[in-house]
Amino acid sequence: MAFQPCPVVTQPAAVSRCSPSPCRDWKTDLLDCSSDTTICACGLIIPCILACKVAVDYGECCCVPYLPGALVAMRTGLREQLRIKGCVCNDWCVFCFCCPCALCQLARELKSPC
């Protein structure tokens, strides 16, 4: 009697050990400078330095903010990583119309404990 293999009729599925956390809001609002006046002052006076600090805190090279679109990509990446509500279009608009405030918000989010 010869061995007859059974055909596979279902695909194996990955087992998730933890359920994804629900989306949340940013810990501070875009214009919430009163929560950290040092970051706010740095963002308004020398935003290029704050952008480098945000990049380093995010785990990138300090020169990354000078690449076109990199700040939007970092904001989107952080938002996705921390499951913060929003969309890429909103990230782009925030950086186009209020770059210092967006930098400050990113810095505050990276500084705050999880």
39-65 average pLDDT score: 94
User: Is pLDDT above 70 for 17?
Assistant: no
Measured at the alpha carbon of residue 60, what is the angle toward residues 73 and 112, in degrees to the nearest 5? 80
Higher pLDDT, 65 or 12: 65
Which structure tokens are listed for 8? 């596979």
Q: What is the pTM of this model?
A: 0.77
Instruction: Report yes or no: 109 and 35 within 8 Å, Cβ to Cβ.
Output: no
What is d(CA 71, CA 98) in angstroms, rounded to the nearest whole number? 12
User: Is pLDDT above 90 for 5?
Assistant: no
What is the pLDDT, as a whole number, of residue 20? 59
Q: Which pLDDT tens digit goes with each residue over 65-105?
A: 999 999 999 999 999 999 999 999 999 999 999 999 999 99
